[in-house]
Amino acid sequence: MSWQKKILRVNLTEGSCTAEPLNMEWAAEYLGQRGLATKYLIEEIDPKVDPLAPENKMIFATGPLTGTAASTGGRYSVVTKGALTGAIACSNSGGYFGAELKFAGWDMVIFEGRSERPVYLYINDDQAELLPADDLWGKSVWETDKLLHKRHQDPQLRVSAIGKAGEEGILFACIINDLHRAAGRSGVGTVMGSKNLKAVAVRGTLGVGVKDPQRFMQVTAEKKQILKDNAVTGQGLPTYGTQVLMNVINEVGALPTRNAGEVQFEGATKISGEAMHEPRGSEGKPNLVTNQACFGCTIACGRIARVDKEHYTVVNRPEYWGASGGLEYETAWSLGADTGIDDLDALTFANFICNEQGFDPITFGATLAAAMELYRMGVITEEETGGIPLEFGSAETLTKMVELTARGEGFGRILGLGSKRLCEKYGHPELSMSVKGQEFPAYDPRGIQGMGLTYATSNRGACHLRSYTVSSEILGIPEKTDPLVTEGKAGLVRAFQDATAAVDSSGLCLFSTFAWSLDDFHPQLDAACEGDWDLNRLVEIGERIWNMERQFNLAAGFTGKDDTLPERLLKEAAKTGPAKGMVCGLDQMLPEYYQLRGWDENGVPSPETLQRLGL
């Protein structure tokens, strides 16, 4: 039970939709969502394939607890070879789309090939068909969602789509569902655009069964109470969202500022979660309208925000005066602190554009920050930017460049390459704050040492959601560790990585781990899923998934030399804050990490490790 035991294979080249049984032996070994979809991908594609070639495949995958009564059970992932990185890509999204796909009776949808013309996939329970999307091509995510609801006359229809960015080949395009929830990183939307697939629209009425309904309801009720009673999941996240972190991370001296040239931002309070609550303008309305929950979620960390209509960024853009997805911490950092901009309305506007046209604000903001540093050095000129000065702190520059990037026009097309390719183009690869081609997010490894090892070893390129050691190093969850020391961080990172892989495969949200440990997950899985599920099995599954992803990247051409950080973090000491005078001690952590992983000195899993994990 809990798995629907059915996958949909969509051959875009042939225009066919075919049902297949789910491989339950693989489900037992890889659980679902991230793990199971990655297993399918690795079995079906050449790791060296061009991410934008028809031979690359893309998988929409739910977890066994997606669509159930478990709190946060609205997750799904998009797994493919990433357009931005060339590494394994798994982008996780919330909202309602994942649950709807599960209600329609499908665990996964595998897309292969490339359509000759724009199409969208329409699923109504067990019926699936590819329909023409010529009239949708060129439309934004928001317009596409509206048109598909009107076409199918179903208010319960859930839509996941790409915008202009995915069509134009912006390398960090997202897939957006429910208007402002995103499978957001690594260019999964770019892969979708390369296949001429505009959207997936799904309606499901079949429901999801569990093994032991009475026990499942009892266990999930107990776990929901834990979330409610926890200070982070019961108070902090509902009130401030992830933006609760802005002032906290700035104070500990780990907020990358102006392309990580600094570790603290003087304007942090102006773009913080607290600032979003403050009345503004002549009407006295705050930026934040309300919080919002994804399907089945009892945390409700999502933000719905508005732009002050008196502000210059919305002149002649009345569609942005209403409310939509508001700033998360990573977005406020990338569009704000990293570019030196403290204008809350400008950041909110830019975030709306990212949602509307479907591209990753973390990579966009970090790429713009790198371009701003190159402009300050005189390497990029206004002749190349169309007369727009790329000055740190300029809200006007941000709002102009975000729209150019969304359309793939002018200098926006250069920004659409991501910071690695942009910095290489201008002869300064060292100024790209990225790992394996993906920009690192809002935690400076000089002030939070564990995040340095996290970024360097992340299988999808730099990412905080593969091993959120901030939880331990800053928040003291599950126990407090010193963010300024390297000792013990190899074991901490490994434990977080394995646990996260298991959680990402369950169908539940990683944010629940602020209150839950794996001891809270396995009883829910055991009550819902066939077979016996205990802590040891879950930990082993997480480790198996991590090593499988590593194998894919090695086969794709990555090596241990790619497990590194930008020189700035390794050689330029923090100038202020608690980490003043410190660099990231990656060289002290990485050898121990390899050893703990059961990998050789080059980062290759040993035969013994692979045999133990059944790989």
- In this structure, what CATH number is given to the domain that contains residue 167? 3.60.9.10
In a domain, 343, yes or no: yes
pLDDT mean by block of 10 residues, the chain; 615 residues:
96 98 98 98 98 98 98 98 98 98 98 98 98 98 97 97 98 97 97 98 97 98 98 96 97 98 98 96 90 96 89 63 85 98 94 96 98 98 97 96 96 98 98 98 98 98 97 96 98 98 98 97 98 97 98 98 98 98 98 98 98 97
Give the three-class secondary structure for 90. Answer: strand
pLDDT at 489: 98
Are 332 and 472 in the same domain?
A: no
Are 423 and 450 in the same domain?
A: no
Q: How far is CA 543 from CA 76, 88, 496, in A?
A: 20, 16, 10
In a domain, 87, yes or no: yes
pLDDT at 339: 98
In a domain, 382, yes or no: yes
Number of separate domains in the chain: 3
In a domain, 168, yes or no: yes
Pairing of strands 158-161, 197-203: antiparallel
Q: Rounded CA gap, 265 and 575, in Å?
A: 12
Are 159 and 65 in the same domain?
A: yes
Are 424 and 459 in the same domain?
A: no
Are 298 and 168 in the same domain?
A: no
Looking at 410, 432, 454, the residue that finishes a domain is 432
In a domain, 88, yes or no: yes
Looking at 412, 432, 452, the residue that finishes a domain is 432
Q: How far is CA 490 from CA 242, 244, 494, in A?
A: 26, 27, 6
Are 522 and 424 in the same domain?
A: no
In a domain, 37, yes or no: yes
Query: With contact defined as beta carbons under 8 Å apart, do 522 and 223 qualify?
Result: no
- Residues spanned by the domain of 573: 443-612
In a domain, 234, yes or no: no
CATH number at residue 557: 1.10.599.10
Q: Rounded CA gap, 272 and 331, in Å?
A: 11
CATH number at residue 247: 1.10.569.10
Are 17 and 155 in the same domain?
A: yes
What spatial distance separates the first Cα and last Cα of the chain, rounded to whole Å? Answer: 26
Strands lying side by side in the sheet with 6-11: 16-21, 6-11, 108-112, 58-62, 76-81, 88-93
Are 160 and 271 in the same domain?
A: no
Query: With contact defined as beta carbons under 8 Å apart, do 117 and 130 qualify?
Result: no
Are 567 and 599 in the same domain?
A: yes
What per-residue string of b and e applies to 446-485 under the rule 16 or more CB within 10 Å gives b? Answer: bbbbbbbbbbbbbbbbbbbbbbbbbbbbbbebeeebebbe
Are 458 and 408 in the same domain?
A: no
Are 459 and 424 in the same domain?
A: no
Are 360 and 495 in the same domain?
A: no
Q: Rounded CA gap, 506 and 569, in Å?
A: 34
Look-up of token digits 């030399």? 561
pLDDT at 281: 82
pLDDT at 82: 98
In a domain, 317, yes or no: yes
Q: How far is CA 588 from CA 452, 489, 542, 582, in A?
A: 11, 10, 25, 14
Q: Rounded CA gap, 88 and 69, in Å?
A: 30
